[in-house]
Homo-oligomer: A and B are copies of this chain.
Amino acid sequence: MAAPVLSHVKCADCPIRHRAVCARCNADELDELDTVKYYRSYEAGQPIVWSGDQMDFVGSVVSGVATLTQTMEDGRTQMVGLLLPSDFVGRPGRDAAAYNVVATNTVMMCCFRRKPFEDLMARTPHIAHRLLEMTLDELDAAREWMLVLGRKTAREKIASLLSIIARRDASLENGPLDRVEFELPLTREAMADYLGLTLETVSRQVSALKKDGVIELEGKRHIIVPDMSRLMDEAGDDSDGGYLV
C-alpha cells in the first residue's frame, strides 16, 4: 500500500495524506486544519457514528475498513457504502448522521472538528469544490450500486463486489491488471448486506465462482483473481470507472 500520488499536503502524520480533503489545499489552509485535527482508532465491530447522532466531526479513514449501513425497524439492513482508506466520512452542513458507520476491523480515523472545518470550507473555495467533486463520485457509486441491487443476479452481484474491491486495491499497487490478489475486508454477512442477499447465497455463489475458476480462495478471506477481465465479464460490467464510496 504505497502512498498515493497526491502530495503537497500538510497533514504529515497521515499515511494516506488526505487525498480526499486536501488534494488542492495549500500549506496555510492545512496549518489551520492541523490545529483542530485529532486521531482516533476504533476496534472491529465498534460503531464510529450512529444514525441520528449529533455528528461533531468529519474526517477520513487512514487505515482499516468501515461500513455505512441503513436499518429497518425489523432488523433488515442494507449497506449503502464501504469506507476504505482515504475515504471521507461526514456531511458538511448536516449535523445529524444519516447512517450507521461501523468499523469492520481496526480503523484509524483522522478527524477534524466539524465547525472549524466548515468555517474553513466557507472561506476556501478549493475545499468546497473538492468536496462537491467527492460527493458527486459517491453519488455515481451509489447509483451504480442501484443497478447492481435492482437488476443483477446473485452471481453477478458477487462478481461486481469483488471486482470493485479488486480494482480499488489494484489501483494502489500498480501491477498488470490481469492478476489481482487481495484480502476481503468483509464477512459473508456484510457482503450479503451490501448485495441485498442472504449470507448463505453469498457463500454458495463464492463457491460457484471458485469452482468455475473465476477466483481462487486461500483461507476464507484471501481472494486471488487470475484474470480480472473474466471477473468483470461475470459482473456484467460495462463500466470502466469503478467507483466505490
Contacts and interface: CB of A to CB of B under 8 A. Distances in A.
Central interface residue in A78, A91, A92, A93, by most chain B CB within 10 Å: A78
A113 to B, nearest CB: 19
A44 interface: no
Contacts of A140: 98
Given A78-B151, A125-B125, A151-B77, A70 B143 contact: yes
A59 interface: no
Contact of A78 (B122, B131, B147, B195): B147
Given A74-B236, A128-B128, A133 B93 contact: yes
In which size bucket is the chain A interface? 35 or more
A139 B144 CA distance: 12
A3 to B, nearest CB: 26
Contacts of A132: 92-93, 128, 131-132, 135
A208 interface: no
Please tell me how many copies of the chain the complex holds: 2
Interface in A69-119: 70, 72-74, 76-78, 80-81, 91-94, 98-99
A109 to B, nearest CB: 20
A185 interface: no
A65 to B, nearest CB: 18
Interface of A: 68, 70, 72-74, 76-78, 80-81, 91-94, 98-99, 122, 125, 128-129, 131-133, 135-136, 138-140, 142-147, 149-152, 195-196, 236, 238
27 contacts: A68-B143, A70-B147, A72-B147, A72-B238, A73-B238, A76-B151, A78-B146, A80-B143, A81-B143, A92-B132, A93-B132, A93-B133, A98-B143, A122-B125, A128-B128, A128-B132, A131-B132, A132-B132, A132-B135, A139-B142, A142-B143, A142-B146, A146-B149, A149-B149, A149-B150, A150-B196, A151-B196
